[in-house]
Chain A
Amino acid sequence: MVDVAFGPEQGKRPDLSNTREAYLDMVRRKRMYGGILLVLFIALMSSGWMLADDRNAGGFWGGLHQVFDFPSEVLSEAWEKRANLPGIFIDHIPALIETINIAAVATLIGGVAAMALSLLATRGLARWPRLVPVFRRTLDALRAIPEIVIALVLIYILGGGPVPAVIAIALHTGGALGKLFSEVAENADPKPVEGLASVGATWSQRMWLGVIPQVAPNWLSYALLRFEINVRASAILGFVGEGGIGHDLKLAMQWGQGRYDQVVAIFLLLFLTIVLIDQMSDRYRHRLTKGKPA
C-alpha cells in the first residue's frame, strides 16, 4: 500500500541528484540577478549625482554650504520677535480652519466616489466584470494627476478660492483611495457575498450587506490617513492661489525680511496641526482595525 505521508519506499524514490543540481542552479541564478541589480543601482545613483552637479547654476558642491543660510536668517529674525508669535497664531486660525475644511470636504467627496469606483474595479465583485479594466484605468488616471496640476487648470476656469481646491483634491483622493479600497475589497471573504447571492440579492444589496461590513474598518482607516495627507495638500494649494493657510504663508514669504516671524508662526501652526491630526487618526485607526484597547 502506498504510504501517503512519506511517499514511496526508499529504493523507489526518484533520483535526487537532479533536484540537488537544479536547486544549486537556482541559487546561482538568484545571486547573479542580485549582483546585476546592485550594479544597476550604483550606476543610477552616481549618474544622478553627476547630472545634478552639472545642471546646478552655481555648481552643486560649491552651493551646498549655503543651504542653511536662508533658514538661519528666518529663524534668527523670528527669535528676535518671539513675543509676537502668539498674536500671529490667533490671526491665522481662520485660514487654518479653511485649509482643514477644504481637506475634510474633499476627503468626504473623494471617499464616496472611491467607494463606488473601487467596487466596480474589483475582480470578483464588479457589477460589470468586462468593464473592470475601464474603471481601473479611470482610477489610475485620477491618481496619476497631482492635485496641484488639477488646481492650476481649475484656477483658469473657476478662479481662485476653496471650490477649485476641493475639486482638485477630491479628484486625486478618489483615485488614490479607490485603489486602496479595491485592494481591501479584493481580500474580502467571498462566502458572505455568495450567501447573499443564493437568496437572490441584487448587486447593491450584496455589496452593502456582504462586502461593506467586512471592509469598513480598513476603508475608514485609509480615509483618515488620506485626510491627513489632504491637509498638507490643501496647504500647498494655497501657494497657487486657492486660499487657506498656504496663501498666507506665500504672502509672508514673498514680503521677505521683516515678516519672517509670520513665516515661522504659520509653519509652526501647520506643523502642530498635522502632528495633532496624525496622532488622533493614528489612535482611531488602530482602534478601527485592531479593536478597542483592552
Chain B
Amino acid sequence: MLQVKSVTRMFGQKAAVDRASFAVEGPQFLGIIGRSGAGKSTFLRMMNRLTDATSGEILVEGRNVLALKGADARAWQSQCAMIFQQFNLVPRMDVASNVLHGILNRRSTVQTLFNLWPRADILKALDILDRLGIAEQAPKRAEALSGGQQQRVAIARALMQDPKIILADEPIASLDPMNAQIVMDTLKRINVEDKRMVIANLHTLDTARRYCDRVIGMRDGRIVFDGTPDQLSTGVARDIYGADATFNEAATSTAIPADTTADRTYADLMMS
C-alpha cells in the first residue's frame, strides 16, 4: 500500500533524509525512532507535502504523492492526516471548528471561510469528539484546553479527514505521562479498530516497544534499523542513538507507566 523509494531531502550540503526506502502493507502501527535531527520530522513532513523532497518517490496505492502539484497535492494532504508535537490548532477558534478544519479541502471556499458548515458535518465532528471523550469541550476555545485535550482535538481533526494514513510527529513529546498514555492509547485504538495506518515519530524506545507493530530507526538521515519491537536490543539502540559513552537506556525512556496492562486504560474508558 505504501512504498517509500530512496527519498532524499537536502538542506544545503547536508542530507536531512538520505535515500530512505521501506514498504508497508496493511494498517500497521509504524514507529520511527531516532535522536533529534535524525530526519524523522523531515520525513513525515515530506509525506504530508509540507516540505518538498529533493528526490525519490513515495507511492501510495501506486501513485507517487511527491509528484503531485497544486490542487492534487492538497487533495492528497486531505487524505493524509498529520498530528503535531505542538497540536497546531487555531487557538482562538472553538474546538468543533478546529475539528471541522479536517475537511477544509472538501467543502467550498465560501462555506469554509464564513463558517457555513452543513449540519451533517457539524454532527460528525461532534460524534468524533464524543468518541474521544471530549464532546463537552466542543464550544470552548482551543486555547482554553489542556495540552492533552488539545492533542485529542488534533486527533479528532485527523479523524474528520477520514484519512488513509495518520502521521504523528512526536505526538506526546509535549505531554505529561498520563496524557501521553491517553494519546498513544487513542492512536493505537484508531489503528486497530478503524484499520488506519499510523506512522508515529517517537522519542523514546519504551513507547515504540509498547505500541508499534514495526519500528524504523533513523540516524543522520539514514535508516539504520527496520524490524519488530522485539528486535530492538540494547545494541541496536546504540546504533540508532549513537555509541557515545553517555548513552543509557534510561535517557530514552519517558515515564509512561508500564504497570497498567492489567487495568483498562483511561482511553479505553473514554472510548467505550
* Nearest-Cβ distance from residue A158 to partner chain B, whole angstroms: 35
| Cα A202 to Cα B89 with chains together (Å) | 16
In the complex, whether B90 has a CB less than 8 A from a CB of chain A is yes
Contact with A199, one of B73, B161, B246 (Cβ below 8 angstroms):
B161
Can you list 24 pairs linking A and B with CB atoms under 8 Å apart? A1-B245, A191-B86, A191-B87, A194-B84, A195-B89, A195-B157, A196-B101, A198-B48, A198-B82, A199-B78, A199-B105, A199-B161, A200-B78, A200-B104, A200-B105, A201-B101, A201-B104, A202-B74, A202-B109, A205-B104, A205-B112, A205-B113, A208-B113, A214-B92
In the complex, whether B192 has a CB less than 8 A from a CB of chain A is no
Q: Is chain A's interface secondary structure helix, strand, loop, or mixed overall? A: helix
In the complex, whether A210 has a CB less than 8 A from a CB of chain B is yes
* Nearest-Cβ distance from residue A191 to partner chain B, whole angstroms: 4
In the complex, whether A213 has a CB less than 8 A from a CB of chain B is yes
In the complex, whether A192 has a CB less than 8 A from a CB of chain B is yes
| Cα A198 to Cα B113 with chains together (Å) | 17
**A199 and B92 in contact, given A1-B246, A208-B113 (Cβ under 8 angstroms):** no
* Nearest-Cβ distance from residue B220 to partner chain A, whole angstroms: 21
Residues in A201-252 with C-beta less than 8 Å from chain B: 201-202, 204-205, 208-210, 213-214
* Nearest-Cβ distance from residue B98 to partner chain A, whole angstroms: 8
Residues in B83-124 with C-beta less than 8 Å from chain A: 84, 86-93, 101-105, 109, 112-113
In the complex, whether B145 has a CB less than 8 A from a CB of chain A is no
Inter-chain contact A201/B84, CB cutoff 8 Å: no
| Cα A210 to Cα B104 with chains together (Å) | 12
Complex interface: chain B residues within 8 A of A198 (CB):
48, 50, 77, 81-82, 84, 88
Known contacts A194-B50, A197-B77, A199-B102; 15 additional CB pairs below 8 A are A195-B88, A195-B89, A195-B101, A198-B81, A199-B77, A199-B104, A200-B73, A201-B104, A204-B113, A205-B109, A205-B112, A205-B113, A209-B93, A209-B113, A214-B90
- Report B204-248 CB contacts with A as 1/0, cut-off 8 Å: 000000000000000000000000000000000000000001100
| Cα A1 to Cα B4 with chains together (Å) | 40
Number of A-B contacts (CB under 8 A): 82
Complex interface: chain B residues within 8 A of A197 (CB):
50, 77
* B residues at A contact (CB < 8 Å): 48, 50, 73-78, 81-82, 84, 86-93, 101-105, 109, 112-113, 154, 157, 161, 245-246
| Cα A208 to Cα B113 with chains together (Å) | 7
Complex interface: chain B residues within 8 A of A213 (CB):
90-93
Inter-chain contact A195/B78, CB cutoff 8 Å: no
In order of increasing CB-CB distance, the 4 nearest A-B pairs are A195-B88, A200-B77, A200-B105, A200-B74
**A195 and B154 in contact, given A201-B101, A202-B74, A210-B90 (Cβ under 8 angstroms):** yes
Inter-chain contact A192/B105, CB cutoff 8 Å: no
- A208's nearest neighbour on chain B, judged by CB, is B113
* Nearest-Cβ distance from residue B41 to partner chain A, whole angstroms: 12
Complex interface: chain A residues within 8 A of B92 (CB):
213-214
Complex interface: chain B residues within 8 A of A200 (CB):
73-78, 104-105
- A206's nearest neighbour on chain B, judged by CB, is B104
Complex interface: chain B residues within 8 A of A205 (CB):
104, 109, 112-113
Complex interface: chain A residues within 8 A of B74 (CB):
200-202
Residues in A163-211 with C-beta less than 8 Å from chain B: 189, 191-192, 194-202, 204-205, 208-210
Inter-chain contact B90/A195, CB cutoff 8 Å: yes
Inter-chain contact B104/A191, CB cutoff 8 Å: no
* Nearest-Cβ distance from residue B183 to partner chain A, whole angstroms: 16
| Cα A256 to Cα B90 with chains together (Å) | 61
Complex interface: chain A residues within 8 A of B104 (CB):
196, 199-202, 205, 209
| Cα A210 to Cα B113 with chains together (Å) | 11
Q: Which of A189, A198, A201 has the most C-beta atoms of chain B within 10 angstroms of its own C-beta?
A: A198
- B105's nearest neighbour on chain A, judged by CB, is A200
* Nearest-Cβ distance from residue B73 to partner chain A, whole angstroms: 8
Complex interface: chain A residues within 8 A of B113 (CB):
204-205, 208-209
